[in-house]
Structure 1
Amino acid sequence: MGNCNPSRTPIDTSTKLTTSGPPVKDPIAYRSLAGALQYLTFTRPDIVYAVQQICLFMHDPREPHLAALCKIIRYVQGTLDLGLQLYASYTTSLVAYSDADWAGCPSTRHSTSRYCVFLGNNLLSWSSKRQHTPSRSSAEAEYRGVANAVAETCWIRNLLRELHFPLFSATLVYCDNVSAVYMLAIRFSISASNTLR
């Protein structure tokens, strides 16, 4: 696909991949390409979600899954100059952004949690992962996503402390769901009051 027409996006957001469609002729080639794209996600976080979606069907790939895989390759072909940029930064603040979709998978109704963590101006850690159990509400899905982001920032803070570079400012974690923010505030106020006793 070296001479293919590039795509502007890595995934079609208007449709969701399902288990329907005719099976692919060569499932081994599908798995090989999907595995290669998994390695590419180490330096291309913009394709993480799209690659995660096609990897869900590696056990039984169908033609729509192959079309989605080819769309990712067309996107990569058109964006070869993109990648992670690391800059010298004198800012030592740790900031995390968290988001989750509610029941985004049409077959299992599981939500997908996503977060990214910045140290100063540099992207340090990111994740896009399907939650293990279905959530009853968008607030619950977002709460789980924030919990994952907080766990990651705690691990990073401990790692920096072991490297003799402790952070002295609080970590900010951003979430776009008001209900999840209130649940987190209640949770932390209860934890703080139990600690003070």
Structure 2
Amino acid sequence: MFSNLASLTPLAVGCVSQSHDFMFQTNEANKHPVSKLYKKGTHIWTGVELQLRRIWFMIDYQWVYREGSDELSFTDTVLLSTVEDVLSFASQHESILSAYLMSPIPVSKGGGWQQDLLTGIWEAADPADPRLMTKIYAKVDGSHHVDSLFEATADQLKDWEQLLEFPVYSAESVSEANELH
């Protein structure tokens, strides 16, 4: 991506070094009328816009509603902007069912988004600058997506530390899950 940060303008350095947690945008025109039925501060949206063409995450999780001795189980999906958001969400929700890495496909190759089911998130020191920690996303097919400022490859990274493990699915359940999304 960037072989030398010193060659970038201060604005560019700021942009590439920030977490950009302003990934999703919407407006009042996309607010669904059913929002009035939810608790104060909660809204239902008919659409959101992606502000940046960079990786983001889609997490399926299960939660249980309890009232007295009755229980109802629900499955929801949350869209998260950063790996830090994923790690924080996982620390608060024990029942993650699946996690997907959404990667932009270059416009020169038709655009759109590549969706990969993840088995885990790892990190390792970047060989170009060991002070920087590079995130590695392990995919269900055995390959890895490396999010490195200096374009390190999985083979170049040493001493990986696992940050999070996701449920592992059989090939059959993976294809079924992909059909649902």
Which range, TM-score by smaller chain? under 0.3
More helix per residue: 1 or 2? 1
Instruction: Output the TM-score relative to the length of structure 2.
Output: 0.26
Mark the structure with the bigger radius of gyration. Answer: 1
Query: Which structure is higher in RCO with an 8 Å CA cutoff and minimum separation 6?
Result: 1
